[in-house]
């Protein structure tokens, strides 16, 4: 599998689709050295006899020691305090906290809902910049961690230009200055919109290939990632030629061997967002998802309504083309990242990522590969070096599920425990709160 470029971080991570067109601690001790790193016993948790998917491989049965907000050790011989709290993980699988690599966030409740379904990190792809900055200025609490593209690069009248107070760049504008302003605002990576509307039978102003290339180059000058919204294979080819780091939808038209090979050679990753695309083509998977017994108790009214919503297209595209495109890209070794485009009709934060994993398996990924697409791969591509794995010193972002999702991907929905930054999320209290709101 070819690798994507990952750029250096500064203080933190450095690095709305056409579908919406017209719709829309402890104290350190002086010695010994090991004791200085260990919090008091009450901060330790051990999950014993558990199957582990560490982000890359499966460990059939082992123990995992959590010490405060970090993973302190893995294995039956890992050092632990005699008074540590112990959970029997027999018959269960421990996963890294899941990462949704494409969402749109406009309120904190969406991040709570994400965490209630085991998503410990969301990557916002336009609109959530201020929320991301405010959230990371305080303790993690009971919300998924948010990173954001902030305001996207788009032209006057182009897709994304209707976001509140969204700036635009004209054909004769200073692209370098425009991109620099996005990072000054706090964008963690750059979202570029290359959307002509032709895939949907409309015409929309968009960037020229030269503007596209200038935007990517400017992002790379700032050591940040440049991700590109596309719909058609022609748009994807332009973005890949400009050395975009990721495409944040899969293109229409199905399998395209020549384009797929070009994507692989460029080291570009793809976030297909099958969850929203199959909704566009008419599949009502959201209704089925909302009714699932492992899901229904944790959905509030807004989430149910979002899952039941549909794009009002008179002539929806065929669903299979998107699965076939992903299958070709995956077969060619292109890094595939799981993302839902939650915030759009037919999707809801948190829960839709589980359906995205199932769709990726339908597209040809193995359950192990799909799990990696929601853990270690997005962490690597987006430079999130402290998560996406179950490994010593990594963040204790973890999900415990009943069964074995490494062989049956639907088992990810059988959630029995969630930890974010080592803090257990009270899922049943969440269920009571959303039920009270119905």
pLDDT in tens, 25-79: 333 333 333 334 444 445 899 999 999 999 999 999 999 999 999 999 999 999 9
* pLDDT at residue number 284: 84
Position 184 in a domain: yes
Residues 6 or more apart whose Cβ sits within 8 Å of residue 86? 45, 46, 47, 48
Q: pLDDT digits over 405-438, tens only?
A: 999 999 999 999 999 999 999 999 999 999 887 5
Among 67, 87, 65, 76, residue whose Cα is nearest residue 25: 67
Position 63 in a domain: no
The tally of domains found in the chain comes to: 1
Q: What percent of the chain has pLDDT over 90?
A: 79
Burial class (CB in 10 A: 0-12, 13-18, 19+), 96: buried
Position 411 in a domain: yes
Residues 6 or more apart whose Cβ sits within 8 Å of residue 234? none
Tally of residues, the chain: 438
Inform me whether the pLDDT recorded for 14 exceeds 70.
no
Position 241 in a domain: yes
Position 292 in a domain: yes
Rounded to 5 degrees, φ, ψ at 216 are: -60, -45
Position 227 in a domain: yes
Q: How confident is the model at residue 397 (pLDDT cuts 50, 70, 90)?
A: very high
Position 75 in a domain: no
In whole angstroms, what is the distance from residue 410 CA to residue 161 CA?
Answer: 37
* pLDDT at residue number 328: 98
Among 215, 206, 189, 28, residue whose Cα is nearest residue 101: 189
Segments forming the whole domain that contains residue 183: 18-25+93-436
- Pair 357, 412: CB distance under 8 Å: yes
Q: What percent of the chain has pLDDT over 70?
A: 89
Residues 6 or more apart whose Cβ sits within 8 Å of residue 99? 119, 120, 121, 122, 123, 338, 374, 375, 378, 379, 384, 387, 388
Output the domain CATH number for residue 353.
3.20.20.140
Position 335 in a domain: yes
Residues 6 or more apart whose Cβ sits within 8 Å of residue 208? 171
Rounded to 5 degrees, φ, ψ at 36 are: -65, -20
């Amino acid at each position: 599998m070819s690798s994507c470029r990952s750029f250096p971080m500064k203080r933190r991570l450095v690095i709305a689709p056409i579908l919406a067109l017209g719709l829309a601690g402890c104290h350190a001790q002086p010695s010994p050295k090991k004791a200085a790193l260990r919090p008091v016993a009450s901060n330790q948790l051990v999950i014993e006899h558990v199957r582990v998917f560490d982000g890359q491989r499966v460990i059939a049965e082992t123990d995992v020691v959590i010490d405060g907000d970090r993973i302190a050790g893995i294995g039956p011989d890992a050092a632990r305090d005699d008074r540590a709290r112990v959970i029997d993980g027999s018959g269960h699988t421990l996963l890294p906290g899941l990462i949704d690599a494409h969402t749109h966030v406009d309120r904190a409740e969406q991040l709570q809902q994400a965490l209630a379904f085991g998503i410990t990190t969301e990557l916002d792809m336009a609109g959530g910049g201020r929320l991301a900055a405010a959230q990371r200025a305080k303790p993690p609490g009971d919300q998924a961690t948010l990173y954001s593209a902030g305001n996207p690069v788009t032209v006057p009248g182009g897709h994304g230009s209707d976001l509140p107070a969204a700036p635009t760049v004209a054909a004769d504008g200073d692209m370098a200055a425009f991109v620099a302003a996005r990072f000054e605002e706090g964008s963690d990576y750059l979202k570029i919109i290359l959307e002509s509307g032709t895939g949907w039978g409309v015409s929309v102003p968009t960037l020229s290939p030269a503007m596209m290339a200038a935007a990517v180059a400017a992002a790379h000058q700032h050591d940040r990632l440049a991700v590109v919204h596309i719909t058609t294979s022609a748009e994807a080819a332009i973005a890949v030629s400009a050395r975009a780091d990721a495409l944040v939808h899969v293109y229409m038209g199905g399998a395209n061997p020549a384009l797929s090979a070009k994507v692989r050679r460029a080291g570009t990753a793809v976030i297909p967002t099958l969850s929203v695309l199959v909704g566009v083509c008419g599949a009502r998977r959201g209704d089925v998802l909302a009714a699932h017994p492992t899901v229904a108790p944790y959905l509030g009214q807004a989430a149910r309504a979002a899952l039941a919503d549909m794009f009002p297209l008179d002539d929806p595209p065929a669903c299979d083309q998107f699965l076939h495109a992903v299958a070709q890209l995956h077969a060619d070794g292109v890094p595939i990242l799981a993302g839902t485009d939650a915030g759009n009709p037919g999707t809801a934060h948190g829960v839709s990522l589980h359906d995205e994993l199932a769709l990726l398996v339908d597209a040809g990924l193995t359950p192990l590969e799909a799990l990696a697409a929601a853990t270690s791969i997005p962490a690597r591509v987006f430079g999130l070096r402290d998560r996406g794995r179950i490994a010593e010193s990594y963040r204790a972002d973890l999900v415990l599920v009943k069964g074995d999702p490494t062989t049956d991907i639907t088992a990810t929905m059988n959630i029995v425990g969630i930890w974010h930054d080592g803090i257990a999320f009270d899922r049943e209290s969440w269920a009571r709160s959303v039920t009270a709101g119905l």
